[in-house]
Each structure stands twice: as C-alpha cells, then as structure tokens.
C-alpha cells in the first residue's frame, strides 16, 4: 500500500479523499493556490504545496506544478478528485512516466471515454444501447438540418468534447437546429478548444440514471447499482439519489450489465460512472462515461456500505477487488443535495464572500456532510460555488427525505447567498415526493424562476408557537435580571399577540416544565426547549415532535427560517399590538419597475436603450463581479423608461440600473 498520496484538487472532494487516506494510515499532501492558503483541505493534509496563483489555469490545471509537488514530497500516487485534471489522459501518462500511480483508470480508458463521439461508437460495438443519432462530426448548419430531419425532431446537438452541461442545445425545428448548431459549436470552441459537434435524438421526459462501476487490474468489474440524477437545472445536477425510484430489478440488472460490458471493452480499472438517459417507458440509452469519481458518489456509498475512495486507492495499489457482484447488496435509500453559494431568488446568481456563519447539521449514521469550507472562510470567485454536499440515509425513500428536510433546517449559513430554500422546496414538491421526476422538472415547475411563494410554510401555527416561546423566554429572562426587590418581582404577562405576514394572532402563554404551553385558537401547543437567547438554532419539541428552527433577532422582530421558508414575526402585548395596527403601514417601495444590481460589481455593459421594448429573458446589462460575467435579463416584457447607471460604474447591491415604464 502507498505510504503517501497527493490530492490534485481542492474543496470538498480534496477533504473527502484526505479523510479516507487518513483512515487507511496513508499520509496526504494537499496542493493549493494562493487563494486557498487558508482552505480546509490544506489544513487537513499532512503536508501542503503552493502551486500558483488563484486562476485554475495557473495552478490546479498545471500538470508540471503537480508533478513537481509529487517529486518534492515523495508522494507515490495522485488522486485527482473530479474536474480539474481528473479526465486528462496526458496527466495520467505524465504520472506513469515518473513512476507515480494515478488513482483512477488507465490512459486508454480515459482517452476512449473522454470524447463523446468515440465513446458512443465504442459503446455500440460493446452491445450497449445508445441514443439514436449520428455519430460523425457535423460539418455545417445545413448538414445539421439534414441529419436532424433524418433522426426526427426533437434533437440534441452536443459538443463531442463536452462536459459539465456545456455545449449542448435542443432543437425542435430547422431554425432551432441551425441556431443550435452555431451556438454549440461556438460554446464548444470557447469552453473546450474543440468545436466538433454531433446530433442525437432528444429523449422526451428523460431521466438521468447512471451506473457506478468498479474494476481492478485483474479484469474483475462489478456494478454498484444506480443513481438517479434527474433533478437538474440547466443540465447540472441538483439532487441525486440511490437507488432510483423508477427502476425495477430487471432494468437495473440490464443497465448494470451493459455498463460492465462497456467498462470491460476499455479494460476499466478504478471507479467510473456510465450515464444513461431513460425514457418514460424505461428504455435506456448510453450518454457518456465519466472516468473518475463522481460528485454524487456518497449516495452509492450509503446504500452499498463501500468507501469508493478506499476502493480506488486499493485498486491503484494493485490489490484485487475483495468482493464479487453477488456480494453487492443495496440497502436503504440515500439522497444528496448540493448546497451552492447561489441565490435561488435571484435567478440562481452565484454568490461569493466570507462565510460569516457556517454551521452544518450534525453528522450521524443518517446524515453526512461533505464540505471544504468552514466558518470565517471564503467562497471564492475563482472556483466552483459549491459550499457542501448534504447526504442523508434512511431505510426507505420517505425516511431519507425526512432526514434531508430536518438536516436542511439545521444548515445555518450566513454571509453568502445559498440555495437551501430551493432544496427544501424540492424536498416537499409532490412530483419529487412521488418520484415523478425528469430532467425537465425544475424548468417545468418553476418556469419563472424560484420565488418565496414557492416555499410556503405549511404550518403557520408552528411558527406562531415558536415565536411566542422565544419572546416569552426573553421576557422571563429580562424579568430575572433586572435586580428585583423581594415582593416586587416584575411579572410577565401571559397574553401576547404574534404579528406575522400582516396578520395578528393572539396567544396565551403558560410556563410549563422545560418550556411553555402556547394556546392559540383553542389549541394548546407544548413547546419545549433549552434554547437560550442568541443561539441561532432553536431546537426542541412541539407537542413531542422534534423541531429545529433558525432564529435571527433583528431590531424589533425575529426572523425565522424553517422548511425553506422565511418569516418575520413580532410578539407584543395586546395593547401595543392594538396601537401597532393603527400605525400607518410603511409600504416597502415598489421596486418591481427597476432592474437592481443583484450583487456588488462593475457594470460593464448596458444592452438596451431608452424607449426600447424588451422581452422576458432578453439581455439587459452585464455585471462583472470579480472577474465573473453575470448577464442580467428581463423578468418580463417591459419598456425601458430610464437608464440609471453607466458602463464603468461600480454598483452596490440593490442599486437601480434601469427603470421600466
């Protein structure tokens, strides 16, 4: 076994690999860019080597820097994680030349699978069902239309070198096909430096289901069940689960056996993933093979009980697999949610900044948090905006979902925008809960983006009872503190009014053992908790059921977060509440007629003119927020009345840029 390995990656995946190496008694070397000096993976590793400035092209993607770090530290093997150099055949080759093991497959497998056209041909030869289509390079838009007509619309135009959801377009007619060809070609050229595109049938109501395979250097290859990754936004996975709620035993086996056949065709060693697209009749078609550890591998680890990183390391060290296909048993259900630094309420704009507060849920048998950040750390503009992966497990799918809901309630992040509300809303969406998902579900269910109304709280009484508890505890403590004369103790009233969402709710609060009983509308809510003032998480029970609510005290009110929704509540005496009702309501200014800057940044372009009619989705302006270009688009059809900022302006968050009529 290796004594020391280097991890050529950063973030959660670097931390994930270090954990397993440590468990196996292997020393670890981290590499880091100048932006990652204080990163978690650097702290966790036994040694760390600086490999360059922040941009990935000058650090994490520079093979020679990594090779030098191996030489300097005497690392015997390299785990590439995912992304970065993980699927670069040349990197694998360069390591082999130096006698350093690549913890992944062999050069030939990476090469064959790295290209979508080549891999599709190979798959066909290996007897794997592929998406009907044309597996040659398309010359021009005219040829694209001819082929699309042959295949039959809708079709998908794809970059052969594509990855990460880039370089693909769906076309439903000749015009879209011509346009899609140009766009895919351009995107492929700029993203991958390779503009070859091909066309295949677009599978409608598709599900993305992938098979995990694992092979060793003795020709043993097994499949470890599937992962359903159909919940995607713009072809990027958001929620993954294992097993798939859609597969039956026969389809699972057929897919597994085809995946193994393909892996065998390229002498696959290590962990790899064969992705399939599955139609509503359970016909499945090969999409691509990812020759690396996949982001969503933890769900497979939960249901198989295997540590995939450990398996990869053992295989790379020359050990044979210690089990056979018959030993692989899938048990229970696991779900992964990707927690991103992006604002779901602002069209998922990426957010960067310092994690002022970062408290992930507590890990347990059923909750796993894979993260690469810590409180006080920074989410940098240079890298992937993933904050963490939250994975939960249960004996059944419903249990796994319930654990996920609870864990999301506990996940406390402040300082950068995050998508927890969105994830929580997905967890209670009927289509998700009943397993009727497809890769289009998010686009279909949130056609105009995600809004607070998409995450309503289904039990306002719960929020009212907790608000009553918070305030009463505060008042009781205040009464204790203010130096009291015997016989003159200040007493706290039992009658209060909770104000929430413009409504007032009278409550009666009685102290009880370990908390309070809150009477509201003839019902008694027993709220119990040892919550103390200032704690961000209110953990306790409501009528005996565990609850966890995030609490922020803001001036006169409390802001509560629960099940993905946010509520501002005030608690006051009936008299004050009565007066409050008489206060003239200060309506928030109507900002719907303005285009506001969603983040601080540099305005680089105004794409419209005064008087111009714009259509929903049309580009309005471009903001460069620390080297990332963010295109601001129209939410709805409108006419430009005024332009309030000019290119070159440095914008504050929420600053108005354009006023509409």
Residues 52-111 close enough to bind ligand ADP by CB under 6 A: 82-84
Q: Do residues 520 and 465 touch, judged by C-beta distance below 8 A?
A: yes
Among 384, 410, 454, 519, binds ligand ADP (CB under 6 A): 384
Q: What whole-number distance in Å separates Cα of residue 128 and Cα of residue 354?
A: 47
Which stretches does DSSP call E strand in 89-217?
A: 101-102, 133-134, 155-159, 168-171, 197-201, 207-215
User: By C-beta, is 229 or 567 nearer to Mg ion?
Assistant: 229
**Collapsing DSSP states into helix, strand and coil, what is residue 450?**
coil
Check binding of 290 to ligand ADP (CB under 6 A).
Answer: yes
Check binding of 8 to ligand ADP (CB under 6 A).
Answer: no
Of these partners, ligand ADP, Mg ion, none, which one is at the site of residue 156 (CB under 5 to 8 Å by kind)?
ligand ADP
Query: Please, what is the minimum distance in Å from the beta carbon of residue 443 to ligand ADP?
Result: 11
Q: Which stretch binds ligand ADP (CB under 6 A): 229-237, 599-607, 622-630, 650-658?
A: 229-237
Sign, Cα dihedral of 351, 354, 357, 363: positive
User: By C-beta, is 235 or 436 nearer to Mg ion?
Assistant: 235
Q: Do residues 513 and 540 touch, judged by C-beta distance below 8 A?
A: no
Of these partners, Mg ion, ligand ADP, none, which one is at the site of residue 415 (CB under 5 to 8 Å by kind)?
none
User: By C-beta, is 275 or 301 nearer to Mg ion?
Assistant: 275
Interacting residues of 370 by C-beta distance below 8 A, sequence separation 6+:
12, 13, 15, 16, 298, 388, 389, 391
Q: What whole-number distance in Å separates Cα of residue 13 and Cα of residue 244?
A: 24
Query: Please, what is the minimum distance in Å from the beta carbon of residue 223 to Mg ion?
Result: 17
User: By C-beta, is 200 or 519 nearer to ligand ADP?
Assistant: 200
Which stretches does DSSP call E strand in 298-360?
A: 333-340, 342-343, 349-350, 353-354, 357-359
Which letter, b or e, does each residue of 539-556 get, where b requires 16 or more Cβ atoms within 10 Å of its Cβ? ebebeeeebbbbbeeeee
Query: Please, what is the minimum distance in Å from the beta carbon of residue 259 to Mg ion?
Result: 14
User: By C-beta, is 28 or 212 nearer to ligand ADP?
Assistant: 212
Q: Which stretch binds ligand ADP (CB under 6 A): 98-106, 231-239, 304-312, 318-326?
A: 231-239
Check binding of 11 to ligand ADP (CB under 6 A).
Answer: yes
Relative orientation angle of helices 89-97 and 63-73, to the nearest 10 degrees:
30
User: By C-beta, is 117 or 606 nearer to ligand ADP?
Assistant: 117
- Residue count, binding to ligand ADP (CB under 6 A): 28
**Collapsing DSSP states into helix, strand and coil, what is residue 316?**
helix
Which parts of this chain interact with Mg ion (CB under 5 A)?
Answer: 275
Check binding of 162 to ligand ADP (CB under 6 A).
Answer: yes
623 closest CA partner among 592, 590, 589, 658: 658
Among 18, 277, 441, 657, binds ligand ADP (CB under 6 A): 277
Interacting residues of 58 by C-beta distance below 8 A, sequence separation 6+:
33, 52
Query: Please, what is the minimum distance in Å from the beta carbon of residue 287 to ligand ADP?
Result: 4
Query: Please, what is the minimum distance in Å from the beta carbon of residue 17 to ligand ADP?
Result: 12
Of these partners, ligand ADP, Mg ion, none, which one is at the site of residue 284 (CB under 5 to 8 Å by kind)?
none
Interacting residues of 193 by C-beta distance below 8 A, sequence separation 6+:
161
Does residue 179 have a cis peptide bond before it, meaning omega lies within 30 degrees of 0? no
**DSSP secondary-structure letter at 130?**
B
Q: Do residues 645 and 657 touch, judged by C-beta distance below 8 A?
A: yes
CA-to-CA separations, 263 to 98, 112, 323, 610, in angstroms, rounded: 26, 11, 17, 58
- Angle among Cα 179, 183, 184 to the nearest 5 degrees reads 115
User: By C-beta, is 203 or 570 nearer to ligand ADP?
Assistant: 203
Among 23, 37, 142, 235, binds ligand ADP (CB under 6 A): 235
Of these partners, ligand ADP, Mg ion, none, which one is at the site of residue 277 (CB under 5 to 8 Å by kind)?
ligand ADP
Interacting residues of 250 by C-beta distance below 8 A, sequence separation 6+:
none
Query: Please, what is the minimum distance in Å from the beta carbon of residue 290 to Mg ion?
Result: 6
User: By C-beta, is 162 or 394 nearer to ligand ADP?
Assistant: 162
Of these partners, Mg ion, ligand ADP, none, which one is at the site of residue 232 (CB under 5 to 8 Å by kind)?
ligand ADP
* Residue number closest to Mg ion, CB atom: 275
How many residues appear in the chain? 661
Count of CB atoms within 10 A of residue 310's CB?
A: 16
Check binding of 163 to ligand ADP (CB under 6 A).
Answer: yes
Check binding of 473 to ligand ADP (CB under 6 A).
Answer: no
CA-to-CA separations, 112 to 184, 284, 288, in angstroms, rounded: 22, 21, 11
* Residue number closest to ligand ADP, CB atom: 83
Check binding of 192 to ligand ADP (CB under 6 A).
Answer: no
Q: Which stretch binds ligand ADP (CB under 6 A): 201-209, 343-351, 359-367, 493-501?
A: 201-209
Of these partners, Mg ion, ligand ADP, none, which one is at the site of residue 509 (CB under 5 to 8 Å by kind)?
none
Interacting residues of 327 by C-beta distance below 8 A, sequence separation 6+:
none
User: By C-beta, is 275 or 517 nearer to Mg ion?
Assistant: 275
User: By C-beta, is 165 or 219 nearer to ligand ADP?
Assistant: 165
Residues 422-451 close enough to bind ligand ADP by CB under 6 A: 439
Among 36, 275, 410, 454, binds ligand ADP (CB under 6 A): 275
Interacting residues of 453 by C-beta distance below 8 A, sequence separation 6+:
none
Check binding of 232 to ligand ADP (CB under 6 A).
Answer: yes
Which letter, b or e, does each residue of 480-508 get, where b requires 16 or more Cβ atoms within 10 Å of its Cβ? eeeeeeeeeeeebeeebbbbbeeebbebe
Q: Which stretch binds ligand ADP (CB under 6 A): 33-41, 199-207, 373-381, 467-475?
A: 199-207
518 closest CA partner among 464, 587, 592, 455: 464
Two tokens at 208? Answer: 């993305």
Check binding of 161 to ligand ADP (CB under 6 A).
Answer: no
288 in catalytic set: yes
Q: What whole-number distance in Å separates Cα of residue 562 and Cα of residue 411?
A: 10
- Angle among Cα 83, 105, 287 to the nearest 5 degrees reads 65
Among 16, 208, 403, 562, binds ligand ADP (CB under 6 A): 208
Catalytic residue among 76, 176, 241, 288: 288
Check binding of 160 to ligand ADP (CB under 6 A).
Answer: no
Q: Which stretch binds ligand ADP (CB under 6 A): 156-164, 220-228, 393-401, 531-539?
A: 156-164
Query: Please, what is the minimum distance in Å from the beta carbon of residue 210 to Mg ion?
Result: 8
Q: What whole-number distance in Å separates Cα of residue 432 and Cα of residue 405?
A: 13
User: By C-beta, is 163 or 506 nearer to Mg ion?
Assistant: 163
Q: Which of the residues are catalytic?
A: 288
Residues contributing to the site for ligand ADP (CB under 6 A): 11, 82-84, 131, 156, 162-165, 200, 202-203, 206, 208, 232, 235, 237, 275, 277, 287-288, 290, 294-295, 383-384, 439
């Amino acid at each position: 076994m290796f004594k020391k390995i280097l991890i050529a990656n950063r973030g959660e995946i670097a931390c994930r690999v270090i954990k397993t190496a440590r468990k196996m008694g292997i020393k670890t070397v981290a590499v880091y860019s100048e932006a990652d000096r204080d990163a978690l993976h650097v702290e966790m590793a036994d040694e760390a080597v600086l490999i360059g400035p922040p941009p990935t092209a000058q650090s994490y993607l520079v093979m020679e820097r990594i090779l030098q770090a191996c030489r300097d530290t005497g690392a015997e093997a390299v785990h590439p994680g995912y992304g970065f150099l993980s699927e670069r055949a040349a990197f694998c080759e360069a390591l082999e030349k130096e006698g350093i093991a690549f913890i992944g497959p062999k050069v030939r497998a990476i090469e064959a699978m790295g290209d979508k056209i080549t891999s599709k041909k190979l798959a066909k030869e290996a007897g794997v069902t592929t998406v009907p289509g044309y597996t040659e390079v398309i010359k021009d838009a005219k040829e694209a239309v001819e082929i699309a007509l042959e295949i039959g619309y809708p079709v998908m135009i794809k970059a052969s070198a594509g990855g990460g959801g880039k370089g693909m377009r769906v076309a439903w007619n000749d015009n879209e096909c011509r346009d899609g060809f140009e766009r895919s070609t351009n995107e492929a050229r700029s993203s991958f430096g390779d503009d070859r595109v091909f066309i295949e049938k677009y599978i409608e109501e598709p599900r993305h289901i992938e098979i995990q395979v694992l092979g060793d250097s003795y020709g043993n290859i097994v499949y470890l069940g599937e992962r359903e990754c159909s919940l995607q936004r713009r072809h990027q996975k958001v929620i993954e689960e294992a097993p798939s709620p859609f597969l039956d035993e026969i389809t699972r086996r057929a897919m597994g056996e085809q995946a193994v056949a393909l892996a065998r065709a390229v002498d696959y060693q290590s962990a790899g993933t064969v992705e399939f697209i599955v139609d509503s009749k359970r016909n499945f078609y090969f999409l691509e093979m990812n020759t690396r550890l996949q982001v969503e591998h933890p769900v497979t680890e939960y249901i198989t009980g295997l540590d995939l990183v450990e398996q990869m390391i053992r295989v790379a060290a020359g050990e044979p697999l210690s089990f056979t296909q018959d030993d692989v048993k899938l048990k229970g259900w696991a779900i992964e949610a990707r927690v991103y630094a992006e604002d779901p309420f602002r069209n998922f704009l990426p957010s960067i900044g310092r994690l002022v507060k970062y408290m992930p849920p507590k890990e347990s048998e059923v909750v796993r948090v894979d993260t690469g950040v810590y409180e006080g750390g920074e989410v940098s503009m240079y890298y992937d905006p993933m904050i963490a992966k939250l994975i939960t497990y249960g004996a059944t799918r419903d249990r796994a979902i319930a654990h996920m809901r609870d864990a999301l309630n506990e996940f406390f992040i402040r300082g950068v925008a995050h998508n927890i509300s969105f994830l929580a809303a997905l967890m209670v969406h009927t289509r998700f809960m009943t397993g009727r998902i497809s890769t289009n579900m998010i686009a279909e269910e949130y056609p105009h983006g995600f809004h607070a109304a998409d995450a309503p709280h289904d039990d306002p009484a719960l929020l009212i009872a907790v608000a009553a508890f918070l305030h009463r505890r505060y008042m009781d403590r205040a009464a204790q503190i203010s130096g009291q004369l015997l016989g003159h103790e200040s007493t706290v009233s039992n009658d209060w009014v909770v104000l929430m969402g413009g409504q007032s709710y009278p409550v009666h609060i009685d102290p009880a053992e370990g908390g309070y009983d809150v009477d509201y509308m003839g019902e008694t809510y027993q709220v119990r908790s040892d919550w103390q003032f200032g704690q961000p998480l209110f953990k306790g029970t409501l009528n005996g059921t565990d609850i966890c609510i995030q609490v922020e005290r803001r001036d006169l009110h409390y802001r509560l977060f629960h099940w993905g929704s946010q509520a501002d509540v005030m608690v006051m005496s009936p008299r004050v509440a009565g007066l409050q009702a008489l206060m003239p309501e200060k309506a928030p200014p109507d900002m719907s007629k303005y285009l506001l800057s969603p983040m601080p940044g540099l305005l680089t372009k105004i794409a419209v003119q005064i008087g111009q009619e714009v259509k929903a989705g049309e580009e309005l302006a471009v903001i460069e927020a620390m080297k990332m270009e963010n295109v601001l688009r129209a939410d709805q059809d409108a006419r430009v009345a005024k332009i309030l900022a000019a290119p070159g302006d440095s914008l504050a968050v929420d600053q108005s840029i354009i006023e509409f009529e």
